[in-house]
Amino acid sequence: MLNEKIREIRLAKKMSQVELAKTLGVTKQSVSNWENDNIQPSIEMLVKIADALCVSTDYLLCREERRFIDVTKLSEDTIQHIQFIVDDIKKSCFD
């Protein structure tokens, strides 16, 4: 499942294997091997992958379904606005 999550998130972010590899300082072949479930990344690399894809390691490992949005460098007012939008969307989906 880790392999599927890495691929799913990378594609959702419109990143190529080459781009992810460059961000992580590894080869494209390493990314390909992870995504094809040929090898597993080390714990240290798992943390780097999570950081590069802006998700938690628990999310990558399918231990948690919550996703997070990186709001670093945004103002509190902007963050609050985003939260209102998310809350509205959740409400409309679950009503």
For 13-29, the pLDDT digits (tens) are: 999 999 999 999 999 99
Say whether pTM exceeds 0.75: no
Would residue 71 count as lying in a domain? no
Task: Please give the Cα distance from 15 to 6 (Å, whole number).
Answer: 11
CATH number of the domain bearing residue 44: 1.10.260.40
Considering the domain boundaries, does residue 73 fall inside one? no
Domain count, the chain: 1
Cα end-to-end distance, the chain, whole Å:
31
Q: What is the pLDDT of residues 37-85, one digit of tens each?
A: 999 999 999 999 999 998 999 999 988 877 777 888 999 999 999 999 9
**Domain, as residue range, for 14:** 2-60
Structural domain includes residue 17:
yes
Q: Which residues contact 46 (CB under 8 A, 6 or more apart)?
A: 57, 60, 61
Domain contains 85: no
